[in-house]
Amino acid sequence: MTEGKRVDWQKARDLCAKIYMARGIPEADAYMVSDNLISAELNGVYSHGITRMKMYMRYIDNGQANSSGEIKIINEGPATLHIDGNNCLGAVVATKAVKKGIAKAKEMGAAIVSVRRSNHFGTAAYYTQMIAEQGMVGIAATNAFPHVAPLGSSKEYLGTNPISFGAPTASGKPMILDMATSVVARGKISVAAEKGEPIPLGWALDADGNPTTDAKAAANGVLLPIAGPKGYGLSLFIDVLSGVLSGAKFGGHLGPHAVGNTSKDTDVGHFFVIVDISRFMPLDEFNERMGVIISDIKALPKIEGVSEIFMPGEIEQRKVDVNMKEGLLLSEALLGELQKMCERFGIDFNL
Amino acid sequence: MTEGKRVDWQKARDLCAKIYMARGIPEADAYMVSDNLISAELNGVYSHGITRMKMYMRYIDNGQANSSGEIKIINEGPATLHIDGNNCLGAVVATKAVKKGIAKAKEMGAAIVSVRRSNHFGTAAYYTQMIAEQGMVGIAATNAFPHVAPLGSSKEYLGTNPISFGAPTASGKPMILDMATSVVARGKISVAAEKGEPIPLGWALDADGNPTTDAKAAANGVLLPIAGPKGYGLSLFIDVLSGVLSGAKFGGHLGPHAVGNTSKDTDVGHFFVIVDISRFMPLDEFNERMGVIISDIKALPKIEGVSEIFMPGEIEQRKVDVNMKEGLLLSEALLGELQKMCERFGIDFNL
């Protein structure tokens, strides 16, 4: 088993940014994407970490995404921002949009930010963390390429459409929930299919719409939403808020395989709710109340075999602590990808 | 099997309002509560229909809720409303709060409404429907008495904490999702326990924290959140938004059995997000886009045994059509409760 090696997270961030800069992305934007990926690595959300660099690079190489340019405000209301992402990389678009939203929420108490013409924005948690660090509560959601079947259908139409909630706490580490509305990500099924392992019933349907435990059959089929009608409804409403309301593509119209897609743009949509806590109570009081809810839950009796009850995002935060201290554990494959990109752009591969 | 009888929904609404008025609730407020209950009956959500009258009446009789009085604005920002419900009935508080929120969203593009010192507000769908009918998208959430165990615990701490999303459509009938964050309501387990029927694994734990299919054991135990960590996180964040942020009670502090509860007030909290669509696109265009997403999904291939794919809230809307035409089907037991309340207040029981 090749475990790869531990690398300093700041060095990794700088290297990723350097690679993006070499591809024509302005320095500040390159650091936005890089920080987003490294944050996912730190949190142990490897599916949204450095492994995404290849995909983002392909977007730019294909002309699917712009390497530079500015997001545009289509319409600004006292409490609303409607933003055109100008088809830049999603992490750049969403980071800039959320920053504008935070500034508006500071002024008005709350802001709704609706974004179109964006791309895959990384983890939704990245943005609710940004918001929570400003003493605000946040909701972040995005639509995504269709992999999930609406309840009763055998065909994919909705994305894994994640939603994240974030709130500050007294410890300085926000409470963050980041959940896909599908039972699992497609990646989990691919991994099981590669290993020849079965998957639990309820994760997916095969190509004929039958429930299956065969990972290979599932890989050719569709993902299922969480909790039946609830997850289906939640995923659909995330698309209504992210896609329909913003003017982005939605549902089965997203993605390169969509029928009638003449434009290369992925045209992903996002939706953010940002609420300034100080309009409701002093932040200290909110933090204290969060402390009560956390310590209450931590002190509850546990079921057999459970040694600790975790808060949303807590397991990830512990990984951040470890990974910041010990370095990011990058696989040989991932290091190889980084090295190849360095070679392409004549960058010194110095991790 | 006593099926009860069909009664005209408007007559039922008037009678319920009359009963509330006889208990000292001002006419407009009495109609707010009554309309809320009858709307649930029309939608086939019987658990939140006329059956709740007894509970609401008990709240007033016990001094747990005020029969009259006005909600108070604690703090108003350009895009925020912080409201004290003055311990009136939840449907009265929430209806008034949402109306104020809609007016604010018309002016500012969006409004966040946070409510404390309220009570059980009926279905969350009632409020997102109100919002959607104004050409807006809405989110409504509330905390509730603790019946659900956080993931890993054997003890209830969170409520079934529902969240609802609503958006207008071209048909004039909004798309409405209203979901509890527990797998089922406690009522479903009570019904199974009464009938001596088993329940599916995953609905609940027994009093010792063991998964159970025994409805009686489950009735003495705790409900489980949907989708494991996702439903737990969602339920917890609904409480953070509804309870912690508003200054209401939260988690295990809600409800008459809470340790250290010296006040009779239930002090439930609500959270509403109201977004004016016209800040993002003309309502007609939004409705057209909703039409596309709906007709796309309706036209998807179906799995075996499924004759139609439903949109969130669509099954309920069909029930409304039937119940408006044919009348509400009220059980003998429910008619008996209404008759008893009529006798108490000397009201003619004329359904």
DSSP state at residue A50: G
Contact A151 B75 (CB under 8 A): no
Is residue A318 pLDDT above 60, yes or no?
Answer: yes
Task: Taking residues A154-173, report their average pLDDT.
Answer: 97
Closest Cα to residue B342, out of B6, B1, B4, B11? Answer: B11
Q: How many CB atoms lie within 10 A of CB B257?
A: 10
Is residue A92 pLDDT above 90, yes or no?
Answer: yes
Polymer length of chain A:
351
Closest Cα to residue B268, out of B132, B74, B115, B163? Answer: B115
| Helix, coil or strand: residue B154 | coil
Task: Taking residues B8-33, report their average pLDDT.
Answer: 98
User: What's the pLDDT at B145?
Assistant: 96
User: What's the pLDDT at B2?
Assistant: 57
Task: Taking residues A149-157, report their average pLDDT.
Answer: 97
Per-residue pLDDT band at A2 (split at 50, 70, 90): low
Angstrom CA distances, A239 to A178, A245, B143, stand at 16, 9, 25
Nearest residue in chain B measured CA to CA from A232: B312
Contact A245 B280 (CB under 8 A): yes
pTM of the model: 0.98
Is residue A15 pLDDT above 60, yes or no?
Answer: yes
Out of A226, A245, A293, closest to residue B251 by CB: A293
Per the prediction, chain A carries an average pLDDT of: 96
Closest Cα to residue B17, out of B1, B29, B9? Answer: B29
Beta-sheet pairing, A110-118 with A80-84: parallel
Q: Cα angle vertex B101, ends B98, B103, to 5°? A: 115
| Host H or E run for residue B1 | none
Task: Taking residues B192-211, report their average pLDDT.
Answer: 96
Out of B152, B236, B250, closest to residue A306 by CB: B152
Per the prediction, chain B carries an average pLDDT of: 96
How far B334 CA sits from the closest chain A CA (Å)? 29
Contact B303 A205 (CB under 8 A): yes
Task: For an interface test with A, give the residue of B165, B244, B304 to mutate (most A CBs within 10 A).
Answer: B244
Residues of A in contact with B277 (CB under 8 A): 245
Task: Taking residues A299-327, report their average pLDDT.
Answer: 97
Out of B108, B152, B240, closest to residue A79 by CB: B108
Is residue B96 pLDDT above 90, yes or no?
Answer: yes
Is residue B276 pLDDT above 60, yes or no?
Answer: yes
Residues of A in contact with B175 (CB under 8 A): 236-237, 240
User: What's the pLDDT at B291?
Assistant: 98
Task: Taking residues A33-62, report their average pLDDT.
Answer: 96
CA distance B295 to B48: 31
User: What's the pLDDT at A187?
Assistant: 87
Is residue A263 pLDDT above 90, yes or no?
Answer: no
Give the start-end residues of each E strand in B29-173: 72-76, 80-84, 110-118, 136-142, 163-167
CA distance A126 to A113: 16
CA distance B97 to B92: 8
Segment A187-223, tens digit of pLDDT: 899 999 999 999 999 999 999 999 999 999 999 999 9
CA distance B318 to A322: 54
User: What's the pLDDT at B329?
Assistant: 95
Task: Taking residues B249-267, report their average pLDDT.
Answer: 85
Is residue B1 pLDDT above 60, yes or no?
Answer: no
Domains for chain A: give ranges and CATH numbers: 1-68+314-351 (1.10.1530.10), 79-182+225-299 (3.30.1370.60)
Task: For an interface test with B, give the residue of A244, A276, A277 to mutate (most B CBs within 10 A).
Answer: A244
Quick check: ipTM above 0.95? yes
Q: B86-96 burial, b for 16+ CB within 10 Å, e for fewer?
A: bbbbbbbbbbb
How far B151 CA sits from the closest chain A CA (Å)? 7
Is residue A1 pLDDT above 60, yes or no?
Answer: no
Q: How many CB atoms lie within 10 A of CB B23?
A: 17
Out of B137, B157, B279, closest to residue A297 by CB: B157
Is residue B261 pLDDT above 80, yes or no?
Answer: no
Region label for A251, one of left (φ > 0), alpha (ψ between -120 and 50) or beta (otherwise)? left
Q: Locate B237 and state its tokens.
A: 């964040």
How far A224 CA sits from the closest chain B CA (Å)? 12
Contact B297 A150 (CB under 8 A): yes
Angstrom CA distances, A6 to A16, A98, A323, A325, B133, stand at 16, 32, 9, 10, 55
DSSP state at residue A324: H
Q: How many CB pairs lie under 8 A apart between chains A and B?
A: 257
How far B227 CA sits from the closest chain A CA (Å)? 6
Out of A157, A245, A289, closest to residue B300 by CB: A157
Task: For an interface test with B, give the residue of A148, A157, A297 to mutate (most B CBs within 10 A).
Answer: A297
Segment B165-200, tens digit of pLDDT: 999 999 999 999 999 999 998 889 999 999 999 999
Contact B312 A237 (CB under 8 A): yes
Contact A82 B279 (CB under 8 A): yes
